[in-house]
Amino acid sequence: MHVQRPRGTSDILPGSVERWQELERVAREVFARYGYREIRTPVFEHTEVFERGVGETTDIVQKEMYTFTDRAGRSVTLRPEGTAGVIRAFVENKLYGQTGVAKLYYIGPMFRYEKPQKGRERQFHQYGCEVLGSDGPAIDAEVIALNVDTLTNFGLRGLVVELNSVGCPDCRPRHRERMLEALRPYAAELCDDCRSRLEKNPLRIFDCKRGCPAVLERAGAPTVLKSLCEACETHLSGVRAHLDALGVPYVINERLVRGLDYYTRTAWEVTSAGFGTVGGGGRYNRLVAELGGPDVPGIGFAVGMERAILLRQEQAGQDGAADRQAGLDVFVAVADSSAELPAARLLQALRQVGLVADRDYQGRGLKAQFKLADRMRARYAAVLGESEVTRGVVTVKDLTTGAQTELPVDRAAAELARVAGQSSGERKEQA
Ligand code: HAM
């Protein structure tokens, strides 16, 4: 029996999950500021969605998909990325019928059968967005700014936007010809994968991890940036002018190609020196039509959440320090078995007025319950024993000052909510 998690997956435990929650909260907040709304699509799709969407010549489709046949014999695939599913949903639900551009964001797990290493998992998480319906450069710059903004709001520093244009169906054939011409004499030096890519999708060779980019250098193969058509040139200048206007710094990296086939024109990655890529995206003007929709242009990005969290830990030098659980407002202590039900009632009342309250569930003696209250970092202890129950009161101890008072048990929750609210207000003012 397998009692360990599968390779390339993680358990996100209390103590680390707080970072995840923070990243998700920040992403949602920043997306909302830019006018995006959330979309949730299935974690699996018909395999064809990714074959057609992501592209047959990509590593993702060729080697990395979790594909299986379901019980009815259909081929389905765990999503390796978010874009193809979002576009499938956009087309299927006819979201293009609405006025203006569609601005959609998503957060969730993705699956790629890759060799696990630091920052690379088989189940990983992305947040990302897609904008459908505009092919102007203003939206490219806005989406790049948004990509960076989500990360800097999460506390990351020193990020670099690497920008490129991968051309369009008008200029790419010309580029392909020029590349083939330069590379043919060097074909024998390419790895098997790149030799087969040579005719189909030579751009991919820039992204080879097995030394083929050096062959490109030797062969003097041109980058797409040097072969752009006029329309792509104009678009790129527009994106650059808008990025300057927005105050988003970037560098041009003409060797940047992305691991997905759907991109046209703008493509970028957000990187950090010595760390690598945190996120990236690009424009895709033909994907919607490719997936059976109308001719609507799109652009988007995705951030690898494991990587964003890793990078923040590295930058903060925290080597993964666990977050402590937030402390309790009130710990309810049971000093006598006759107080069991009144204590349960009080605990429920405390939670219902909005306080964070808890108790011991393992039959500890009173002294051990106070130790537990301390470990749970409680502000107040509410003690119920035989005498309190008989008199209809509860003993409330302020665990910071040691001061002790009695309150009528049926008013205790409201009274504690009032003082706990006041003291958390004071704490905030002091901070
Ligand atoms: P991608 O570059 O394949 O783009 O992935 C985006 C980010 O996801 C990467 O920069 C990386 O941080 C993270 N990532 C990818 N694979 C893994 C992995 N195995 N483990 C951990 N993190 C990983 C896309 O997925 C496109 N859908 C982005 C996009 C949206 N383009 C247009 N719209």
The predicted-structure confidence for 20-44, as pLDDT tens digits, reads as follows: 999 999 999 999 999 999 999 999 9
Identify whether residues 405 and 340 lie together within a single domain: yes
Instruction: Tell me if 10 CB under 6 Å of ligand 1.
Output: no
Mutate to test the pocket of ligand 1, among 87, 105, 110 (most ligand atoms within 8 A of CB): 110
SS3 labels along 236-291? HHHHHHHHHHHCCCCEECCCCCCCCCCCCCEEEEEEECCCEEEEEEEEECCHHHHC
Among residues 368, 369, 367, which one has the least CA distance to residue 358?
A: 369
Residue with tokens 């083929």: 212
Contact criterion met (CB below 8 Å) for 44 and 111: no
Write out residues in the chain with pLDDT < 70, as ranges: 1-2, 318-322, 423-431
> pLDDT tens across 134-184, in order?
999 999 999 999 999 999 999 999 999 999 999 999 998 888 889 889 988
pLDDT at 119: 94
Nearby residues of 294 by Cβ (< 8 Å), 6 or more positions away: 96, 288
Is residue 2 a part of any domain in this protein? no
Query: If you measure from the C-alpha of residue 370 to the centroid of ligand 1, how many angstroms do you get, rounded to a whole number?
Result: 48
Give ∠ CA 400-401-406 in degrees, rounded to 5: 105
* SS3 state at 361: coil
Identify whether residues 283 and 349 lie together within a single domain: no
Of 269, 292, 318, the residue at which a domain comes to its end is 318
Instruction: Tell me if 81 CB under 6 Å of ligand 1.
Output: yes
Is residue 176 a part of any domain in this protein? no
Give ∠ CA 389-390-394 in degrees, rounded to 5: 40
Instruction: Tell me if 82 CB under 6 Å of ligand 1.
Output: yes
In DSSP terms, 277 is beta-bridged to: 271
Is residue 295 a part of any domain in this protein? yes
Mutate to test the pocket of ligand 1, among 156, 204, 307 (most ligand atoms within 8 A of CB): 307
Give the residue numbers spanning the domain of 22: 17-171+228-318
Of 297, 318, 339, the residue at which a domain comes to its end is 318
Instruction: Tell me if 298 CB under 6 Å of ligand 1.
Output: no
Provide the CATH number for the domain around residue 32: 3.30.930.10
Is residue 354 a part of any domain in this protein? yes
Name the DSSP letter for residue 88.
Answer: H
Identify whether residues 314 and 385 lie together within a single domain: no
Total of domains in the chain:
2
Instruction: Tell me if 155 CB under 6 Å of ligand 1.
Output: no
pLDDT at 431: 45
Is residue 204 a part of any domain in this protein? no
Is residue 341 a part of any domain in this protein? yes
Q: Going by CA atoms, what residue is nearest to atom 29 of ligand 1?
A: 301
Query: If you measure from the C-alpha of residue 304 to the centroid of ligand 1, how many angstroms do you get, rounded to a whole number?
Result: 6
Which residues in 329-357 are b (16+ Cβ under 10 Å) and which e?
bbbbbbbeeebeebbeebbebbeebebbb
Identify whether residues 272 and 386 lie together within a single domain: no
Query: If you measure from the C-alpha of residue 171 to the centroid of ligand 1, how many angstroms do you get, rounded to a whole number?
Result: 26
Identify whether residues 36 and 75 lie together within a single domain: yes
Mutate to test the pocket of ligand 1, among 140, 147, 260 (most ligand atoms within 8 A of CB): 260
Identify whether residues 356 and 311 lie together within a single domain: no
Intra-chain end-to-end CA distance of the chain, in Å: 52
Identify whether residues 301 and 348 lie together within a single domain: no
Contact criterion met (CB below 8 Å) for 300 and 101: no
CA distances from 318 to 67, 156, 258, 321 (A): 38, 14, 31, 5
Instruction: Tell me if 280 CB under 6 Å of ligand 1.
Output: yes
Is residue 234 a part of any domain in this protein? yes
> pLDDT tens across 339-353, in order?
999 999 999 999 999
Identify whether residues 361 and 291 lie together within a single domain: no
Identify whether residues 234 and 113 lie together within a single domain: yes
Identify whether residues 375 and 265 lie together within a single domain: no
Stated pTM of the model: 0.92
Is residue 198 a part of any domain in this protein? no
- 284 CA: nearest ligand 1 atom: 32
Q: What share of the chain is helix, strand, coil (3-state, %, to 5)?
A: 45, 20, 35
- 121 CA: nearest ligand 1 atom: 20
Q: Going by CA atoms, what residue is nearest to atom 15 of ligand 1?
A: 304
Provide the CATH number for the domain around residue 407: 3.40.50.800
Of 284, 318, 352, the residue at which a domain comes to its end is 318
Identify whether residues 271 and 341 lie together within a single domain: no
Identify whether residues 232 and 361 lie together within a single domain: no
